[in-house]
Amino acid sequence: MSVSIPAPRSQRIDPKYKRGPKSHGSFEKLAWLFMRLSGVVLIVLIFGHLFTNLMVGEGISGIGFGFVAGKWASPLWQFWDLALLWLAMLHGANGVRTVINDYAEKHATRAWLKGILYVATIFIIVLGSLVIFTFDPCVTGSQLQQCL
């Protein structure tokens, strides 16, 4: 008696046995540390920012062009806002980089998403820094005290 058994249809499933080449340096370690350290500093910067803008003086109704101009006349607030800009952007960008690494499955998708992320991050950091340092409250028609 002979039995004929059909040949198996299954092929070897492509197993991703091999991890990519070993990474050099400790970038991921530093990124991990940066997230925690910048997070602690951001707590102070963000709540300080919210408090002075919303709780002190006239509160939210006092916020306007003049309010911002007044704040940026002081080097303290220039520094505060600059630190907030850089830390929040780098912290947020690195966080989104992690999210992309965790969720994008294809190499090309990852590369594209991260490329867009880096360009956007650099653009906002550069633009924001320029605004803080080159800000001129005396636009034409300004009614502010120091421009008259």
Partner 1 sequence: MSTELPEPPSKIELKPGVGGGGEIPSFDITLRVRRFLPEATADAYWEDFKLTMYGTDRVLDALHKVKWEHDGSLSFRRSCAHGVCGSDAMRINGRNRLACKTLLKDLDTSKPITVEAIKGLPLEKDLIVDMEPFFQSYREIMPFLISKGHEPTKERYQSAEDHAKFDDTTKCILCAACTSSCPVFWTDGQYFGPAAIVNAHRFIFDSRDDAGDMRLEILNDKEGVWRCRTTFNCSEACPRGIQVTKAIAEVKQAILSRTV
Residues that bind ligand HEM (CB under 6 A): 35-36, 39, 42-43, 46, 88, 91-92, 95-96, 98-99
Residue number, 35 or 82, with CB nearest to partner 1: 35
Query: Can you say how many angstroms the Cα of residue 72 is from the centroid of all Cα atoms in its chain?
Result: 23
Element (DSSP H or E) covering residue 95 = helix 75-103
Task: Tell me how far, at minimum, the Cβ of 121 lies from partner 1, in Å.
Answer: 20
HSE, CB side, 13 Å, CA atoms: give it for residue 17: 4
Instruction: Give the contact letters, 96-135, x = binds to partner 1 (CB under 8 A), - = no.
Output: --x--xxxxx------------------------------
Q: How far apart are CA 108 and CA 114, in angstroms?
A: 10
DSSP state of 11: P
Using the rule CB under 8 A, which residue among 33, 44, 50, 130 binds partner 1? 33
Q: How far apart are CA 4 and CA 98, in angstroms?
A: 53
Residues that bind partner 1 (CB under 8 A): 6, 8-10, 13-20, 22-23, 26-29, 31-33, 98, 101-105
